[in-house]
Chains A and B, each alone.
Chain A
Amino acid sequence: MSRIFRTVWKNQNCRWGLIILLPVFFAGLAGGSLTPIDPISQNLDQILQAPSGRYLCGTDFYGRDLFSRLVDGSRITLGLSLSAALLAVLGGALLGLTAGFLRGWIDRLIMRAVDVFMGFPRLFAVLLIAGFGRTDYGATVTVLALFSWMETARLVRAETLTIREALYVKSATALGLTKWRIARTYIFPNLLGTVITNLTLLIGTLIIIESSLSFLGFGTQEPTASWGAILNQGRLDPIGAWWIAVFPGLLIVITVIGFNLLGDGLRQLHDESKL
């Protein structure tokens, strides 16, 4: 385990990605228990306080500490986007691998499903379902994953089509290995680079989508904090209370950059067979 961590740390992209993401993950895991001030307790004497030593990121319209709310919100934002991205990428990779490796009617069926799902703009599809009143955690994760697996499936299928013609797959076939074993030990490990990159990129995209949902009022509901919901409050007075929009916005951008850096680094390491 420590060998893997050392290898990952030596890669510059991974290192910067982790430097950015580790505090965010730590905040996500610890949540509200880490913060000195309760993220949902209102203090109407302290509304719209600018950032200071006491309130690191200022306070909002209800006098709640913004820093505490951002830390607490990372649990929701990261949790939602990570679970949805994992679900979507695992499902997409499995379907892409099946389509590319088995070909025939199963390939046609999966690819037509990809076409159908790609026809829906993701954000609007999620908004439509949220509009029916399902805004709980499980439903949001499912809907996000349901409209996010197609890119992975397409990429993995294309890559599988190339790999299945590779000489090492022919050699494995000549060894008499079963199709399932060839898919599992010869094709899938060579797809991992694509899958990892896709996962990290998708987490970034889903953080933005989750934030957009909350921003539009369909995601996390008050008083629960999420980065998008906090950003939403910022639009009420973007100049006077600039900190309400700037801090969650910055956090979203930096976290997305962190995931992209980590994804790039992991792909590099995988391509060099160091992982």
Chain B
Amino acid sequence: MENQSAHPLLSVKNLIVEYPPHSFFGRVKPVSRRAVDQVSFEVVKGETLALVGESGSGKTSITMAILGFVTPTGGKMEFDGVELNEMTIAKFRSRIQPIFQDAGAALNPQMKIGRAIGDGFPPGLPADQKRIRALELMKNAGLAENYYDAYPRQLSGGQKQRVCLARALAVGAGMLILDEPFSAQDISIQVQLMHLLRDLKAALGLTLLLISHDLTTVRLLADRILVMRAGKIIESGTIADIISRPQTDYARELIRQAGIKP
């Protein structure tokens, strides 16, 4: 399943994420919900790996566990050979950056765009340098200079997603975790953002973990695909393998829904 020929940048082994049982006025659900069930995969430097599956299949829980927002119940994660845990996650903050589906919610409504991007730069960088570099990143992300002093509410959904990309690049992250980054956008913006991402990846040698329910977007960007269902990986391979020779009915259904002809 994994690409063994190169050194993995991110390695996930037997990851388990469970959400504890909750009670409602004394009525307790007896078992915890297992969102991710013994999932293992590796992401090699410079590749784009896609996690594909319907809502509730555990994709976002994997993202949250990698980013340290959810504590896994079991398993092991390594980034660049170092185990990821509560102690080490802070060290890797600058190297792994998330891009969320709802770009509007990912930006502080009270913070201007220039400052939001500037927050990604290392502390101690002089203000004028911050401005120059933020404007450069905005240009690379396809944003006009005059948005530097704008608030997020003054931008469209696609523009907000570009700001999030610029901010992730400001940190100098080598790996981006993109959680359904295009699904809130209309089709023309989706295409623009995909081209932008492809260009940035080529220019900066980024490693991407793309999470999506839509095979159409995935096949334009991903090198390999993992198909997830009910917290488990049920199929994996290159995009050509999955589309031309799907092994499970679930993968066939995803291909059919995306309107892709094998």
Q: Are A189 and B105 within 8 A (Cβ)?
A: no
Whether, in the assembled complex, B7 has its beta carbon less than 8 Å from a beta carbon of chain A, the answer is: no
Q: Are B108 and A174 within 8 A (Cβ)?
A: no
Question: Which of B93-101, B138-146, B199-207, B239-247 makes up part of the contact surface?
Answer: B93-101
Also in contact, A175 and B119, with CB within 8 A (given A170-B69, A273-B151): yes
Also in contact, A273 and B93, with CB within 8 A (given A166-B105, A168-B107): no
Q: Which A residues lie within 8 Å of B67 (CB)? A: 170, 174
Instruction: Tell me, in angstroms, the Cα distance from A167 to B98 when the chains sit together.
Output: 11
Q: Are A176 and B151 within 8 A (Cβ)?
A: no
Also in contact, A168 and B93, with CB within 8 A (given A175-B167, A176-B171, A177-B119): no
Instruction: Tell me, in angstroms, the Cα distance from A21 to B57 when the chains sit together.
Output: 58
Do most interface residues of chain B lie in helix, strand or loop, or is the interface mixed?
A: loop
Kindly supply a per-residue 1/0 record for chain B positions 69-85, scoring 1 wherever the CB is within 8 Å of any chain A CB and 0 otherwise.
10000000000000000
Kindly supply a per-residue 1/0 record for chain B positions 92-125, scoring 1 wherever the CB is within 8 Å of any chain A CB and 0 otherwise.
0110111010100111111100000001100000
CB contact between B93 and one of A166, A175, A190, A192 (< 8 Å): that residue: A175
Whether, in the assembled complex, A171 has its beta carbon less than 8 Å from a beta carbon of chain B, the answer is: yes
Give the shortest distance, in Å, between A111 (CB) and chain B (any CB). Answer: 21
Also in contact, A172 and B110, with CB within 8 A (given A167-B100, A273-B153): no
Whether, in the assembled complex, A242 has its beta carbon less than 8 Å from a beta carbon of chain B, the answer is: no
Whether, in the assembled complex, A186 has its beta carbon less than 8 Å from a beta carbon of chain B, the answer is: yes
Q: Which B residues lie within 8 Å of A189 (CB)? A: 108, 110-111
Give the shortest distance, in Å, between B246 (CB) and chain A (any CB). Answer: 34
Q: Which A residues between 157 and 206 are near B, CB-CB below 8 angstroms?
A: 166-168, 170-177, 185-186, 189-190, 192
Instruction: Tell me, in angstroms, the Cα distance from A167 to B102 when the chains sit together.
Output: 8
Whether, in the assembled complex, B258 has its beta carbon less than 8 Å from a beta carbon of chain A, the answer is: no
Whether, in the assembled complex, B90 has its beta carbon less than 8 Å from a beta carbon of chain A, the answer is: yes
Q: Which B residues lie within 8 Å of A174 (CB)? A: 67, 93, 96-98
What total of chain B residues lie within 8 Å of the partner, measured CB to CB?
A: 24
Give the shortest distance, in Å, between A215 (CB) and chain B (any CB). Answer: 41
Instruction: Tell me, in angstroms, the Cα distance from A241 to B223 when the chains sit together.
Output: 90
Instruction: Tell me, in angstroms, the Cα distance from A190 to B109 when the chains sit together.
Output: 8
Also in contact, A171 and B106, with CB within 8 A (given A176-B90, A176-B171): yes
Whether, in the assembled complex, B164 has its beta carbon less than 8 Å from a beta carbon of chain A, the answer is: yes
Q: Which B residues between 133 and 189 are near A, CB-CB below 8 angstroms?
A: 151, 153, 164, 167, 171
Instruction: Tell me, in angstroms, the Cα distance from A167 to B164 when the chains sit together.
Output: 12
Kindly supply a per-residue 1/0 record for chain B positions 17-47, scoring 1 wherever the CB is within 8 Å of any chain A CB and 0 otherwise.
0000000000000000000000000000000
Q: Are A175 and B108 within 8 A (Cβ)?
A: no
CB contact between B100 and one of A171, A175, A185, A192 (< 8 Å): that residue: A171
Which chain A residue lies CB-closest to B103? A167
Which chain A residue lies CB-closest to B151? A273
Q: Are B105 and A167 within 8 A (Cβ)?
A: yes
Q: Which A residues lie within 8 Å of B153 (CB)? A: 273
Q: Are B108 and A172 within 8 A (Cβ)?
A: yes
Q: Are B94 and A190 within 8 A (Cβ)?
A: no
Instruction: Tell me, in angstroms, the Cα distance from A166 to B108 when the chains sit together.
Output: 9
Which chain A residue lies CB-closest to B69? A170
CB contact between A273 and one of B94, B98, B110, B167 (< 8 Å): that residue: B110
Which chain A residue lies CB-closest to B101? A167
Q: Which A residues lie within 8 Å of B94 (CB)? A: 175-176
Q: Are A167 and B106 within 8 A (Cβ)?
A: yes
Instruction: Tell me, in angstroms, the Cα distance from A175 to B96 when the chains sit together.
Output: 9
Instruction: Tell me, in angstroms, the Cα distance from A170 to B105 when the chains sit together.
Output: 10
Instruction: Tell me, in angstroms, the Cα distance from A172 to B120 when the chains sit together.
Output: 9
Q: Which of B90, B105, B110, B171 has the most CB of A within 10 A?
A: B110
Q: Which of A171, A173, A186, A192 has the most CB of B within 10 A?
A: A171
Q: Which B residues lie within 8 Å of A172 (CB)? A: 108, 119
Which chain A residue lies CB-closest to B170? A175
Instruction: Tell me, in angstroms, the Cα distance from A189 to B167 when the chains sit together.
Output: 20
Which chain A residue lies CB-closest to B98? A174
Instruction: Tell me, in angstroms, the Cα distance from A171 to B167 when the chains sit together.
Output: 10
Q: Which A residues between 207 and 235 are near B, CB-CB below 8 angstroms?
A: none
Instruction: Tell me, in angstroms, the Cα distance from A172 to B164 when the chains sit together.
Output: 11
Given A171-B107, A171-B167, A175-B94, 17 more pairs with CB closer than 8 A: A168-B106, A168-B107, A170-B67, A170-B69, A170-B98, A170-B100, A171-B106, A173-B93, A174-B67, A175-B167, A176-B93, A176-B94, A176-B171, A185-B111, A186-B111, A190-B108, A273-B110
Shortest 7 CB-CB contacts between residues of A and residues of B: A176-B93, A189-B110, A167-B105, A168-B108, A167-B106, A171-B106, A273-B151
Residues of A within 8 A of B (CB): 166-168, 170-177, 185-186, 189-190, 192, 273
